[in-house]
Structure 1
Amino acid sequence: MVGVLARAHQATQELTPLLGGLVSRFAQQGYPLYLVGGSVRDAALGRLGEDMDFTTPARPQIIKEILEDWAETVWDTGIDYGTVSAAYHGQQVEITTFRSDVYDGDSRNPEVTYGDSLEGDLVRRDFRVNAMAIELAPDGQHRFHDPLGGLQDLAAGVLDTPAAPELSFHDDPLRMLRAARFASQLEFRVAPRVRAAMADMAGEIRRITVERVQVELDKLMCGQRPEAGLDLLCESGIAEHIFPEIPALAMETDEHAQHKDVYAHSLQVLRQAIDQEEDGPDLVLRWAALLHDIGKPDTREFTDGRVSFHHHEVVGAKLARKRLRALKYPKAVIQDVGQLVYLHMRFHGFGEGQWTDSAVRRYVTDAGDLLPRLHKLVRADCTTRNPRKAARLQRTYDHLEERIAHIAAQEDLARVRPDLDGNAIMEILGLEPGPQVGKAWTFLKELRLEEGPLEREEAIARLRAWWQEQKG
């Protein structure tokens, strides 16, 4: 625990050259300034970022005046809640007046009231690891405040609430999602009483807007161990209220028709997809990996002692789009995740060495910009414990990627288009703009996918032959 505290102090000392002027300005006005909450937690973990949270007894208008004298940019969009933000030399700071809020029990919107003590401000926070503060001093002799034992929780890797979790979650049910998010981000375990309260109060999450749910889910999914957060949401019953398709993956296995635990398989695919990331968390890839089999519960059939999930990728893509739409995800995310779910079985439709040039072109064209992610998803979807089968699947996909590279070296696979554009089609066939031009374009696109690039004269001849058949 001493080492954790030392890291926090070291991180704070390193901020002195940057924040010294701000601390001095508060001191000159007679107000202390405290680094607080997640910023102290992250400093103790050695991961303090560029966004920092502070608290002070000074009222918002005074905070704003001090910041305007110090910072390069100041914005007060949160001033009604006691918060003023600023940017200085690339560092973003958010300063909030001591709070002592009262919740109405129906929404998560508190009646904002200002407090008069640091301890009163800390006790209203979500978890004890977020209820620590460092009092910043102009002379660098900073003072650590931990009235609720947050440092001990931090050292033990435990998430617990300052007061009874039932009271905390009743005030703000979003804190239950934050518990799952921190389980993912910090890799902490949740205290038994917190876990029990989450299970008892799971339905309270319906008080939270879908926009806030989406933000927390994304932070969870981009954490170090999203599977830990997802397990907590499913085991507590909260997932049933916000994303029921995920716990539905834990299907009971028929004793006569064994199949993989789809929920456990999906979490393993998610982990294996994460292991392939190159530039930090890829939210689209992670969601696609988790949801790639969500169509299986609705498509499971038992025939002659065997289980099948025919067209689960088609059903799954629809379910993924519907749920992400309900959670108000951006259209691009909805489309990309849905398309990856839809395409993830395409590879398995071909045996080893059975990929024609036409099939390769269609695979690349249908994936489009998603092709690198599709490669990772398909490889991650191999969770067999049979080493020979696993090696064969990876070898087959290696072969497919080699085929893609070979054909791409000969053709522009990234932009497979007809050999003749719309203007040329209208000129050759004597057409005006309309549906017939679109049909001709589609014919040429299919021809291009099947046979590859054609010389212009050959393309014109094939187009005219097709047009004669249409008129006949």
Structure 2
Amino acid sequence: MNLAHKLKDPVFKTISEVAHNEGLETYVVGGYVRDILLKRPSKDIDFVCVGSGIELAKAVKKSLGGQYPLSVFKNFGTAMIKTDDLELEFVGARKESYQRDSRKPIVENGTLEDDQNRRDFAINAMAISLNKDSYGELVDPFGGVEDLKEKLIKTPLDPKTTFSDDPLRMMRAIRFASQLKFDIDADTFQGIIDMKDRIKIISQERIIVELNKIILSDEPSYGFKLLFYCGLLKEVFPELVALQGVDSIEDKSHKDNFYHTLQVLDNISQNTDSLWLRWAAIMHDIAKPATKRFNKKVGWTFHGHEDKGARMTPGIFRRLKLPMGESMRYVQKLVKLHLRPIALVKDEITDSAVRRLLFEAGDDIDDLMMLCRADITSKNNNKVKRYLQNFDKVESRMVAVEEKDKVRNFQPVITGQMIMSTFGLKPGKTIGDIKEALKEAVLEGKIRNEFDQAHEYMLELGREHGLNVVKPLR
């Protein structure tokens, strides 16, 4: 098969000319070749040459006029050129051998065949020649084209060899299956089952990159089910596995919260590409195993799982090496609040309850409502329709209350400094008590967050605390 007509960018001809002049046998390899055949866009192009990839990159940079930056990674024997819209990576062909207890290979110079042998999957082991006498010819020693037709992920060598060499490839197999909607070859999947314990030698930083890519796929539940069935999920995210299963006592059962969580994740993924909103879907019921109780009258309960889940979130993020700043706090907030709109649906909606939810959710209220809608997974279509219609009512009420009271992210018009100045107080508990009472009065609708009403209420609170005005605000 000749794919010269697929190499449309002029950079391929340039590199072919440079490689010929340098006497370097050179190929396009890996993901770019796969994506050409899948007709997927790709801006990252890997080149392998029999010789020094760094020297080839230097010569290519010069041929391109020298205006593009060149990054050299001597420890890895690689170099990268970033053009206006492409990332070109160059490496010398190599063969690798591993010792049993190490993930670091012994690397030697090799042939194209050696380089293809060390690739993770057959669909990523294809190469296109840039050599003058065979320009555009596809080199496909492991049947990658056929695997693409069959939508199959398969290792080029024995799966145990491939996964032992770099156990992260087990995560990558599932990631590619999830992204491409491919199956995993039976022997390859069995290899993952057999080698799953070896994932322990991989750094958490590398694992979370693959997990996040699974989460960002179109139907992430597929990847999570594969992770679950092969046993990798228990190794990397045991809290999620703990959700799986159904307990029954006296003919009373609860739903399988693992599969429910995956359904919520798929539901929300239809409406957002936000990684952190998808993480909120994953985490929303994470504390149900810890809060599960059986009551003879009502059956199974999970009281307080939203608060417990919010408290668990920082520890899980820290262990998984997810960012501990704003993203974690966002997920934590949505986990904590995810039952609140449902409670509003069940009860008669009061302005006070709506104000509190708007205040606590702030700018994340729309994301919270998206999570709540995704959380309705009943198989009873009438029940789902009824819940969603009730959410419509809640959202309409939110709009009305926000227009009237402006409580989303509101800042009290009376500050702590004003309170101290009015009553001649130093910082202390009384200031906090008055500020909290002012906030509560706004949320309860006793006063509007306007200066005149808030000032009058502050003076009333001061009298209740036995305080005298020493410096009026006006």
Q: Could you state the TM-score of these two structures normalised by the residue count of structure 1? A: 0.92
Q: CA deviation at 1:194?
A: 1.5
SS at match of 1:249: coil
Aligned equivalent of 2:209: 215
Aligned equivalent of 1:401: 395
Aligned equivalent of 2:61: 68
Aligned equivalent of 2:14: 21
Distance 1:74 1:462, change over 3 A: same
More off after superposition, 76-85 vs 238-247 = 76-85
More off after superposition, 304-313 vs 240-249 = 304-313
1:261-272 equivalence runs, <5 A: 261-272=256-267
Distance 1:369 1:94, change over 3 A: farther
Aligned equivalent of 1:244: 238
Indicate yes or no: 2:278 matched with 1:286: yes
Aligned equivalent of 2:451: 456
* Structure 1 counterpart of 2:331, one-letter code: V
SS at match of 1:202: helix
Do 1:72 and 1:87's aligned partners in 2 also have CA atoms closer than 8 Å? no
Q: CA deviation at 1:347?
A: 1.4
Aligned equivalents of 2:267, 2:402: Cα separation in 1: 27
Question: What is the aligned counterpart of 2:254 among 259, 263, 267?
Answer: 259
SS at match of 2:248: coil
Runs of 4+, deviation exceeding 6 Å = none
SS at match of 2:129: strand
CA RMSD of aligned residues (A): 2.1
Q: CA deviation at 1:465?
A: 1.9
Aligned equivalents of 2:422, 2:416: Cα separation in 1: 10
Do 1:59 and 1:97's aligned partners in 2 also have CA atoms closer than 8 Å? yes
More off after superposition, 450-459 vs 141-150 = 450-459
Distance 1:54 1:439, change over 3 A: farther
Aligned equivalents of 2:73, 2:442: Cα separation in 1: 56
SS at match of 2:128: strand
Do 1:419 and 1:448's aligned partners in 2 also have CA atoms closer than 8 Å? no
Distance 1:204 1:42, change over 3 A: same
Question: What is the aligned counterpart of 1:188 among 182, 187, 198?
Answer: 182
1:350-365 equivalence runs, <5 A: 350-351=344-345, 354-365=348-359
* Structure 2 counterpart of 1:38, one-letter code: G
Aligned equivalent of 2:80: 85
Q: CA deviation at 1:204?
A: 0.8
Do 1:199 and 1:237's aligned partners in 2 also have CA atoms closer than 8 Å? yes
1:37-76 equivalence runs, <5 A: 37-69=30-62, 70=64, 72-76=67-71
- The CA deviation string for residues 211-232 of structure 1, in whole angstroms up to 9 with x for no partner, is 1111111111111232121111
* Structure 2 counterpart of 1:150, one-letter code: G
Question: What is the aligned counterpart of 1:109 among 104, 107, 112?
Answer: 104
Q: CA deviation at 1:42?
A: 1.3
Question: What is the aligned counterpart of 2:114 among 108, 120, 130?
Answer: 120
Aligned equivalents of 1:320, 1:431: Cα separation in 2: 39
Aligned equivalent of 2:288: 296
- For structure 2, list consecutive stretches of 5 or more residues without a partner in the other structure: 468-474
Figure out how many residues of one structure are paired with residues of the other and give that number.
461
- The CA deviation string for residues 361-420 of structure 1, in whole angstroms up to 9 with x for no partner, is 221221223222211110000111222211111111111111111122234333312121
Aligned equivalent of 2:139: 145
Question: What is the aligned counterpart of 1:333 among 327, 347, 359?
Answer: 327
Q: CA deviation at 1:138?
A: 6.5
Aligned equivalents of 1:369, 1:19: Cα separation in 2: 48
More off after superposition, 133-142 vs 256-265 = 133-142
Q: CA deviation at 1:340?
A: 1.2
Distance 1:146 1:401, change over 3 A: same
Do 2:98 and 2:104's aligned partners in 1 also have CA atoms closer than 8 Å? yes
- The CA deviation string for residues 276-296 of structure 1, in whole angstroms up to 9 with x for no partner, is 12xxx2111111112211111
Distance 1:9 1:274, change over 3 A: farther
Question: What is the aligned counterpart of 2:361 among 321, 343, 367?
Answer: 367
Aligned equivalents of 1:372, 1:244: Cα separation in 2: 30
* Structure 2 counterpart of 1:31, one-letter code: L
* Structure 2 counterpart of 1:275, one-letter code: Q
Aligned equivalents of 1:340, 1:179: Cα separation in 2: 31
Indicate yes or no: 2:227 matched with 1:233: yes
- For structure 1, list consecutive stretches of 5 or more residues without a partner in the other structure: none
SS at match of 2:80: strand
- The CA deviation string for residues 260-311 of structure 1, in whole angstroms up to 9 with x for no partner, is 121111111111101112xxx2111111112211111111111116111111
Distance 1:439 1:140, change over 3 A: farther
Aligned equivalent of 2:95: 100
Do 1:321 and 1:337's aligned partners in 2 also have CA atoms closer than 8 Å? no
Q: CA deviation at 1:118?
A: 0.9
Q: CA deviation at 1:460?
A: 1.4
Aligned equivalent of 2:471: none
SS at match of 1:419: coil
Q: CA deviation at 1:38?
A: 1.2
More off after superposition, 187-196 vs 56-65 = 56-65
Aligned equivalents of 2:407, 2:18: Cα separation in 1: 61
Q: CA deviation at 1:453?
A: 2.4
SS at match of 1:395: helix
Aligned equivalents of 2:28, 2:460: Cα separation in 1: 76
Do 2:58 and 2:70's aligned partners in 1 also have CA atoms closer than 8 Å? no
Indicate yes or no: 2:314 matched with 1:321: yes
Q: Could you state the TM-score of these two structures normalised by the residue count of structure 2? A: 0.91
More off after superposition, 319-328 vs 143-152 = 319-328
Q: CA deviation at 1:40?
A: 0.9
Aligned equivalents of 2:40, 2:314: Cα separation in 1: 35
Q: CA deviation at 1:25?
A: 1.6
Q: CA deviation at 1:239?
A: 1.2
Aligned equivalents of 1:453, 1:66: Cα separation in 2: 71
SS at match of 2:448: coil
Aligned equivalent of 2:342: 348
